[in-house]
Structure 1
């Protein structure tokens, strides 16, 4: 599935829906139904309370002067309200517990993806029994439609929270502990997610995309992503590869098929195929890549990428190389 060109995640109407009221997965549907149930019950309670209050005010206004209050009747009304409150709260609590198991549904051995929250980006490791087929990507999660996908959630630094409202509820990523979550997309689409736990300065710039695609398209994507980086065909991109290897870039990033094997930053083997950079900060274009390389701290203050001095010519070469890694 191709994501609509020219669409930035922060612009409304573009690819990447994000709404708990537009469920496209069984877990999200259970939560949506629970929301509607709470809304309906609370709405009925509100109407009843307003009705009783209105009746009491009207009755008090038209009561004969000097008539003593009917304490017995008032006592029954208050007792009934207490009982009704208990019943409503018990019912809503039971409904919440009933919906909880659907959030962790799944088959015994679904496809598994390791999700690791970083400050401030998402690392996805597609696990395979064959280590040669295991690979990493960042900020863009691809899953097959109609299949349970098991996520293993970990955090490297602080507590994060993985949340894709259209597909599932929130689940925390806690350092030193592994949590789990099952994603299931009922139809193809692009769904926006984000970190839902305040995790530092750039918490609001820690978005992700979930791309749900047909199984055959997903298989092709897996095959392409598990392969090494493309060899640059143009001279400018080839020169950019040499710059990348000479600079500190190769010490922090991995590009499979080259000598770059850093693990501090995102895997850049196929970075040109992603729709965004900076975890939703900017659309992935050559210009955006150049701007990020030139001054990452101005664009996303506090992120862990240092400023790497490059000349204007080297910047053009690096951006050509990065944008060609598809």
Structure 2
């Protein structure tokens, strides 16, 4: 299926929720522009009309002008009331109750990557999150460590991810494609490289994706990859990472069961290539400063075997 990327902007709504928020955004921009024009216009008018001239007396002082006071109080009151009504209305439309609802995906923010677990399946992935287009889906948003914030501008609402708290977002994606966002709450050293990538599939493609990603990891395809699998499970890799169908069942790092099927590495920091995998294994801190993965001093042959194994995990 051909998937196109979309402009990352609140002015490019691509979900039912974003379309409902869009008029409110436009109203707010119009109101702010009106206030700016009035304030700047009055400032220019007063500056020119009442500029000091030689021999000027004290300007006439005006007190208790009820007409001016009514405008100064009435117009802001009406604007605030209007936006309060519109905000409550849109919140009720975009944030219906979640009681008794099973989330489509549970997304956990971590320093500095996203874990995605699909309830009712064995699918666990990281950073690239698949969702069905044209269907109303429920995201359960959590945090493992600090406060993160899930936001894809084209989807409209964003939501904080707070340790110990389960927050929710409804999303109805308009059409298949690739939608990008980022963590919008400062969460540490690599906050800038905590990108979000949602791939919206047609319902049929989404079910096929779930079926494929429910499977265990492929066995090593050659002797070099087989050697990499042995090294992966003997070294500390398996203590942090999980690969379904193997002894590796670590939980603190991203699930690598289908790593080779992802297009990017390190939460969108670089493309998924053998060379980039090798660079990261050789020097994690040098590639992504602050990353939790320690640097192992592996021999060249060991690194090549690990890369061959990881590149086989489709």
Give the TM-score taking structure 2 as reference length.
0.90
Q: Is 2:123–2:210's contact at 8 Å kept on the other side of the alignment? A: no
Distance 1:261 1:85, change over 3 A: same
Counterpart for residue 100 of structure 1? 91
Q: Is 1:3–1:275's contact at 8 Å kept on the other side of the alignment? A: no
In the alignment, which of 213, 228, 250 is matched to residue 262 of structure 1? 250
Q: Deviations over 1:159-179 (max 9, x none)?
A: 111111111321111111111
Matches within 5 A, 1:8-157: 15=5, 17-56=7-46, 60=50, 69=60, 71=62, 76-105=67-96, 109=101, 112-128=104-120, 133-157=121-145
Distance 1:171 1:223, change over 3 A: same
Following superposition, the deviation at residue 216 of structure 1 comes to 1.0
- Check if 1:234 corresponds to 2:187: no
Q: Is 1:17–1:190's contact at 8 Å kept on the other side of the alignment? A: no
In the alignment, which of 164, 178, 182 is matched to residue 170 of structure 2? 182
RMSD between superposed Cα atoms in Å: 2.6
- Check if 1:302 corresponds to 2:293: no
Q: Is 2:110–2:145's contact at 8 Å kept on the other side of the alignment? A: yes
CA distance in structure 1 between the partners assigned to 2:225 and 2:157 by the alignment = 42
Secondary structure of 2:187 counterpart: coil
- Check if 1:311 corresponds to 2:299: yes
Secondary structure of 2:153 counterpart: coil
Moved more, 115-124 or 71-80: 71-80
Moved more, 102-111 or 37-46: 102-111
Q: Is 2:181–2:195's contact at 8 Å kept on the other side of the alignment? A: yes
Following superposition, the deviation at residue 52 of structure 1 comes to 4.4
CA distance in structure 2 between the partners assigned to 1:244 and 1:288 by the alignment = 18
CA distance in structure 1 between the partners assigned to 2:188 and 2:6 by the alignment = 24
Unpaired segments ≥5 residues, structure 1:
5-14
CA distance in structure 2 between the partners assigned to 1:17 and 1:92 by the alignment = 27
Q: Is 2:3–2:177's contact at 8 Å kept on the other side of the alignment? A: no
CA distance in structure 2 between the partners assigned to 1:200 and 1:266 by the alignment = 18
CA distance in structure 2 between the partners assigned to 1:2 and 1:255 by the alignment = 29
Q: Is 1:106–1:148's contact at 8 Å kept on the other side of the alignment? A: no
Following superposition, the deviation at residue 45 of structure 1 comes to 2.9
Moved more, 207-216 or 92-101: 92-101
In the alignment, which of 189, 205, 213 is matched to residue 225 of structure 1? 213
Q: Is 1:253–1:265's contact at 8 Å kept on the other side of the alignment? A: yes
Q: Is 2:231–2:302's contact at 8 Å kept on the other side of the alignment? A: yes
CA distance in structure 2 between the partners assigned to 1:230 and 1:54 by the alignment = 71
Secondary structure of 2:32 counterpart: helix
CA distance in structure 1 between the partners assigned to 2:73 and 2:196 by the alignment = 45
Question: How many residue pairs align between the two structures?
Answer: 312
Secondary structure of 2:155 counterpart: coil
CA distance in structure 1 between the partners assigned to 2:287 and 2:132 by the alignment = 33
